[in-house]
Structure 1
Amino acid sequence: MKSYKVSVWKLSTNRTTKKPTYLVRWSVDGRTFSESHKTKALADRFRAKLLRALDKGEPFDTVTGLPDSLRSGKTALSLLELAVKYVDHRWPDASAKQRDSMTDALAVAVPALTKAARGRPEPTVVRRALRSYVLPTPRRERERPEEVAAAVRWLERASLPVAELTDIDRVHALVDALGRKLDGKPAANQTYRRRRAVTYNALAYAVELELLSANPLDKARRKREQQPVQEVDSRVVVNPRQARELLTACTYVGGFERASGRRLRAFFGCLYYAATRPGEALGLRRSDCELPTTGWGRITVEETRPSVGKSWTDSGEAHDRRGLKQRSPGEVRRVPIPPPLVRMLNEHLEDFGAAEDGRIFASERGNVVASSSYYRVWRQARELALMPEQVSSVLAAKPYDLRHACVSQWLNSGVPAPEVARRAGHSVEVLLKIYAKCIDGQEAEMNDRIMKGLGDDETGILLV
């Protein structure tokens, strides 16, 4: 936004440092700005520029505090400053995973638009400085190691103005950086797309602030960009017998006394029999379950507890606490569960009880189960239940593959796609796009239908 309500104050002297500096202070629409200069002459010169712009009737920007005549020069908002402002703008309403993704992308984008200043730090140090100290809003006041502090000082000097992105060569350099890892090798296509989406939104914010006239990423496309793989690889999907053997194998992991595997058997059962995501199963409470002694039961999936790390959650815990993925706050998903899962949950509650807050699945200390813990159990269960050649394959390589197996089994059993989508928490369009290659066992039936439609008999002779 722009404003003509501008006041420029007299110079003031800062004597708190060994060598005094001179401060230019002014206000735009009631917001105070300041800029420090090493000499009084430099401060006088900058103050004169502000007064000259004020006399000419130039509007001042309420974000940078500068008139248009100065915003395009060296004092314009840098990409580093834009990144900080954008994170502050998004942080309060962003989920922990979004915060993680946002800082990761911007920690790549900011160093991509820097000038060739002396003393450039190692890329790993620059990335660490941005990800752990500069960008996350709650972590900026932490004490910084000297190498991190030096990297931050270098970034503040070297980060180029956002306006430099009007140069298409700069845009191409940014796009190339988003698609590479720290060692210079190409990053995964999904990683590139995620980083580009975050950077695009940050630059769209710059357009809102009138720092750019249009989003520069609209002008650039990465060469040979491939569409991400959406479909589930049918090779990861276990059949019902394999799933039962894997769930049984979990009970042998850790032995009877330690019970690390038995404690997680019903957790993996929720993924296979109810198609819950791991975070949804971790958020399941006793009050969310209808568990009769016989027959089918029902669970109400209301929240998810994804593992994202302490740096990105408001609570300081490793797991975030959110509503359902891509659903409105308060929206729930009710899923009928078959007798095998009902029995598993009843046995789990009888053996281990529930946590203090009602969660069914908890660690021995009552905390949310860490992803590293259930991955460790799953790896050992695969080694017990599968053949050696299967262990080295992609078959059920991750716990999430149990959810894929569940959805595939529902589809193969003839459950209508809208009902499968409702139970799994997908749209029908996404469901069919992701699981199209996993609907097996119907090829012969479809072939017979085609033959009947063609009017052919078994000999292939056209019937007239």
Structure 2
Amino acid sequence: METGVHPARQPGCHPAHNPRGKPKRPTGRTDGPSRKIEVRALAEELGATLIRAVRRDADDELASVGTGHGPVTISWYAFALEYLDMRWPQIAAKTRNETNAALCAITQVMLRDVRGRPNDELLRRALRDWAFVLPRPEPHAAPPDVRLALRWVARTSRPLTDLMDPAVMRAVMQALRLKQDGTVAAPETQRHKRMTFVNAVRYAIEQGMLDSDPIANINWRIAKTAKRVDPRVVANPAQVRSLLCAVSYVGSYRRARGRRLVGLFAGMYYAGLRPEEAVAVTLPDCVLPAEGWGRVILHVTRTQAGKKWTDTGQLHDERGLKGRPPGETRPVPLPPGLVAIWRESIQTFGTASDGRLFFNERGGILAFSTYDTVWHEARQLGLPSDLVNTPLAARPYDLRHSALSTWLNAGVDPAEVAERAGNSVEVLMTKYAKCLYGRAAIANHRIQALLDEYD
């Protein structure tokens, strides 16, 4: 039944019935501590959602490197990951190591100064061991601090186009000059890092990510590397014989740490082999007659690079000959004295399972640290005290330098020496010009003879 009273005129619904002129609160809601708890819980939930969204965005930025085309500007870090994916299969294991070091140095410069920066040690470890290696480790396998560091890097990396700023470019070039401890790196190390950066910039230009070369406008020079062999490292035949004898006395007779390496060092001297060539020599590739000259056919090297950088996960990278197309061979004559040393080594120690003449106690490929340690101990035994602290044959590689210098001074045709050594004649004569004592004496004699004709 209608009462004749409009709902808006019901008691309590007109402002006149509310002294403060405010509408009443709906039932079921109260003021006080419980209300504050609800607001705090809602804020915490919203904050957690925001953090998750930021992390998802960072993960997406880390995983997606983009194409570099169009209006989207790719970050340096994302570009570096893409460049590494392209470059990695094309380069040797040692070059992968050098590329990794260069990208790590550049990336640390290309980070904005944003709060939350990880310490330098963590940044280097995250970039070197997790970001710039292939196959790239799964993100969940990384330690939490590494994951957070890489997210921070992906979020704060400068755009690739910032390289067009001369100030940024100069900072990058300066970083390539230095080692981790802040000291100036060797010229050869600087050159390798700079070449990595140059190749990366060229790739960015090729892919349309940069319009021009940002390096062209920077006046920057790297100190020249020493290409000539220091004559002080060259040992004469008598000194080498003394050193090889001393090698056989290193370590106990039973373990034969030194005795099993005599043939390795002898190959570096008498055949001019590089260390990575000598450790890879196999019996099927050798001709070792009982008398006279022998021969070895070189076609593979075992360069020590590190398990992280090789495709096989082994310490050594199996490659072709240095500076030659894959599959090419190089025959090297073996003098009778070397043939006798190798025959004795095979008779005493046998060969490795794959036919290698020189191997460690477990039959594995010889590591640099193994034969380098033996060589330094042998120098203490085989050299006079006044020569121990000199550069004379300070490294195993100096045996090869001594060999090539001896051949040239013996009057062997440089073209023949270059063929045996696996060098070009130009490189050979440039490197060993200061070591040609015999030729200098011959030249002096001829000059003096000419002068005597006018006396």
TM-score by length of 2: 0.84
Structure 1 position 232 matched with structure 2 position 262: no
1:456 CA displacement: 2.5
Q: Which has the higher contact order (CA 8 A, sep 6+)?
A: 2
Secondary structure of residue in 1 paired with 2:437: coil
Structure 1 position 303 matched with structure 2 position 300: yes
Q: Larger radius of gyration, structure 1 or 2?
A: 2
Report Cα offsets for 1:1-27 as digits up to 9, x if no partner. Answer: xxxxxxxxxxxxxxxx9638999xxxx
Give the equivalent residue in structure 2 for 1:216.
214
Give the equivalent residue in structure 2 for 1:177.
175
Q: Structure 1 21/227 Cα, relative in aligned 2: closer, same or farther at 3 Å?
A: closer
1:315 CA displacement: 1.0
Report Cα offsets for 1:93-138 as digits up to 9, x if no partner. Answer: 3211111111111111111122111122222222221111001012
Give the equivalent residue in structure 1 for 2:44.
none
Q: Hey, what's the Cα distance between the residues in 1 that align with 2:339 and 2:114? A: 64
Q: Hey, what's the Cα distance between the residues in 2 that align with 1:316 and 1:288? A: 26
Structure 1 position 334 matched with structure 2 position 331: yes
1:282 CA displacement: 1.0
Report Cα offsets for 1:209-255 as digits up to 9, x if no partner. Answer: 101122222322325x3211100111111110000111111111112
Q: Structure 1 306/66 Cα, relative in aligned 2: closer, same or farther at 3 Å?
A: closer
Q: Hey, what's the Cα distance between the residues in 2 that align with 1:179 and 1:140? A: 29
Equivalent residue pairs, number: 402
Give the equivalent residue in structure 1 for 2:5.
none
Structure 1 position 141 matched with structure 2 position 130: no
Secondary structure of residue in 2 paired with 1:156: helix
Secondary structure of residue in 2 paired with 1:396: coil
Give runs of aligned pairs for residues 359-398 of structure 1, distance below 5 A.
359-398=356-395
Q: Structure 1 22/152 Cα, relative in aligned 2: closer, same or farther at 3 Å?
A: closer
Q: Structure 1 102/411 Cα, relative in aligned 2: closer, same or farther at 3 Å?
A: same
Give the equivalent residue in structure 1 for 2:150.
152
Q: Hey, what's the Cα distance between the residues in 1 that align with 2:423 and 2:217? A: 33
Q: Hey, what's the Cα distance between the residues in 2 that align with 1:265 and 1:21? A: 64
Amino acid corresponding to residue 97 of structure 1 in structure 2: K
Unaligned runs of 5+ in 2: 1-46, 59-63
State whether residues 21 and 37 of structure 1, in contact with CA within 8 Å, keep that contact through their aligned partners in structure 2. Answer: no
State whether residues 124 and 182 of structure 1, in contact with CA within 8 Å, keep that contact through their aligned partners in structure 2. Answer: no
* Identity level (%): 43
State whether residues 272 and 402 of structure 1, in contact with CA within 8 Å, keep that contact through their aligned partners in structure 2. Answer: yes
Secondary structure of residue in 1 paired with 2:295: strand
Q: Hey, what's the Cα distance between the residues in 1 that align with 2:393 and 2:148? A: 46
Structure 1 position 19 matched with structure 2 position 21: no
Structure 1 position 108 matched with structure 2 position 105: yes
Q: Hey, what's the Cα distance between the residues in 1 that align with 2:303 and 2:439? A: 36
1:199 CA displacement: 0.9
1:339 CA displacement: 0.8
Q: 2:451 aligns with which of 453, 456, 460?
A: 456
TM-score by length of 1: 0.82
Stretch deviating more after TM superposition (140-149 or 285-294): 140-149
Secondary structure of residue in 2 paired with 1:216: coil
Q: 2:66 aligns with which of 64, 67, 81?
A: 64
State whether residues 299 and 337 of structure 1, in contact with CA within 8 Å, keep that contact through their aligned partners in structure 2. Answer: yes
Q: Hey, what's the Cα distance between the residues in 2 that align with 1:399 and 1:66? A: 47
Q: 1:248 aligns with which of 226, 245, 249?
A: 245
Amino acid corresponding to residue 107 of structure 1 in structure 2: C
Q: Structure 1 221/273 Cα, relative in aligned 2: closer, same or farther at 3 Å?
A: farther
1:91 CA displacement: 1.4
State whether residues 200 and 215 of structure 1, in contact with CA within 8 Å, keep that contact through their aligned partners in structure 2. Answer: no
Give the equivalent residue in structure 1 for 2:199.
201
1:375 CA displacement: 0.8
1:443 CA displacement: 2.3
Secondary structure of residue in 2 paired with 1:335: strand
Secondary structure of residue in 2 paired with 1:306: strand
